[in-house]
Amino acid sequence: MNMPMAFTDALPVLKKITAAGFDAYFVGGCVRDYLLDRDINDVDIATSATPLEVKDLFSHTVDVGIEHGTIMVLRNGKGFEVTTFRHESSYSDFRRPDEVQFVRHLEDDLKRRDFTINAMAMDSDYKLTDLFGGQHDLKKRLIRTVGKAEERFYEDALRMLRGARFASQLSFELEDSTLQAMKKCSSLLQHVAIERKRIEMDKLLTGINWLRGISYLSQTGISEQLPRFSVTDQQINRMKAINLDALTIQQRWAAIILLMEISNSLAFLKQWRHSAKRMQQVEQLIKLYWERTKSMWNPVMLYETGIQSAIEAEKLYAAICHVPDNEQLLLDMWDLLVIKNRSELQVNGNDLLQWSNRQGGPWVGELLTEIEQMIITGQLDNNSTEIKKWVNRWSQK
């Protein structure tokens, strides 16, 4: 059998655990993705051995989440997450189980998983355990909860958003009773931390069928429980014409802000608790998008933006306005730029101070910018003698 490397790499870990008399299986997303013939993200191993028993078996381990039963086993420079079978009891606040209980049977571990397609396991002979009809749902391309949907959403409301996320990533549909339960329970999502929501939202937005994901959010009322995410039917219709396939996660957040016509994008990004870096990237993309709607790229704009960011913004613009992107033109324009950044300038601020005999101040930066622009537009050579002459004329003005 020709198995994906993700499995063959992890197989010795599985075998070592079973050789010691415990059960061990591949579980969850990796089994689902294998059956769908999709690339496997990472392999999760579930075992009847307790975390301490797992640690005893391997010489190199890291306690990545020992309180939840997860130990990372290191082997040949790779890490494998091994999690003890667990059962989650009494959810009093619609979010996290109050207590994690380790159990010895695979069945109990699979029962607590969210969706049938995520609740399958495979042993070291690649024999499948499918107790809840996961294969059937994979064939029908359906997202269906394990057990009664409403109960499962009361236990952990995030599962509703995860459902929409998987619908987007796999281009599946929500099975009807799962969908109905979401409509009924959507308000429970208000209890879930924004950080957990954002992780799912990132995955939803990067999914192949992100529009289906967003439509589900809207249709179920989940979007009302997300920071400024209500979307009108008109906006959804507009989104239908938009192809985000080639876009990165930051471009997609920027696209969503533009398509949902969110006015204060920074406040929106803060509400979603994006990292400072992500906020800065998205903000810049939006700023460049608006500049691009006003004019085509020119050398000065490109110099100030940098080629990488310019191409990213161009691709965003092309996607939203559904026009072909001008990447090649940008690359050609970039090639022709006499200087690509300030360090290539033949003069610096100190030179300006010396030549002009003036006190330092904001004028130095402003003058450097003016010199850069003249060089880029071909009005001045990037040569210190020429620049000095120009600065002398300037100081006499």
Interface residues with Mg ion (CB under 5 A) are 29
- Bridge partner list, 27: 44, 121
What is the smallest separation between the CB atom of 156 and ligand ATP, expressed in angstroms? 5
Pick one of ligand ATP, Mg ion, none as the site partner of residue 23 (Cβ within 5 to 8 A by kind).
none
Q: Smallest distance, Å, CB 98 to ligand ATP?
A: 15
Q: Which is nearer to Mg ion, 23 or 114 (CB)?
A: 114
Residue 230 contact partner, candidates ligand ATP, Mg ion, none, CB within 5 to 8 A by sort of partner: none
Q: Which is nearer to ligand ATP, 190 or 369 (CB)?
A: 190
Report the C-alpha gap between 70 and 45 in whole angstroms: 9
Instruction: State the residue number with the nearest CB to ligand ATP.
Output: 29
- Least distance to ligand ATP, CB of residue 193, Å: 12
| Residues contacting 187, CB < 8 A, separation 6+ | 221, 224, 225
| 225 touches ligand ATP (CB under 6 A) | no
Q: Which amino acid makes up residue 91?
A: Y
For residues 99 to 118, the per-residue mask of contacts with ligand ATP, x marking binding by CB under 6 A and - elsewhere, is --------------xx---x
| Cβ 275 to ligand ATP shortest distance, Å | 19
Q: Does 29 bind ligand ATP (CB under 6 A)?
A: yes
Identify whether the C-beta of residue 297 lies closer than 8 Å to the C-beta of residue 266.
no
From the number of C-beta atoms within 10 Å of its C-beta (0-12, 13-18, 19+), residue 4 rates as middle
Residue 15: count other Cβ atoms within 10 Å of its Cβ: 12
158 binds, among ligand ATP, Mg ion, none (CB under 5 to 8 A by kind): ligand ATP
Told to check if 28 binds ligand ATP by CB under 6 A, we report: yes
Verify binding: residue 367, ligand ATP, rule CB under 6 A.
no
Scan residues 142-201 and list those touching ligand ATP (CB under 6 A).
Answer: 156, 158-159
* Nearest residue to Mg ion, scored by beta-carbon proximity: 29
- Min dist. Cβ of residue 138 to Mg ion (A): 17
Burial class (CB in 10 A: 0-12, 13-18, 19+), 33: buried
Q: Which does 159 bind (CB under 5 to 8 A by kind): Mg ion, ligand ATP, none?
A: ligand ATP
Binding site for ligand ATP (CB under 6 A): 28-29, 41, 44, 113-114, 118-119, 156, 158-159, 203
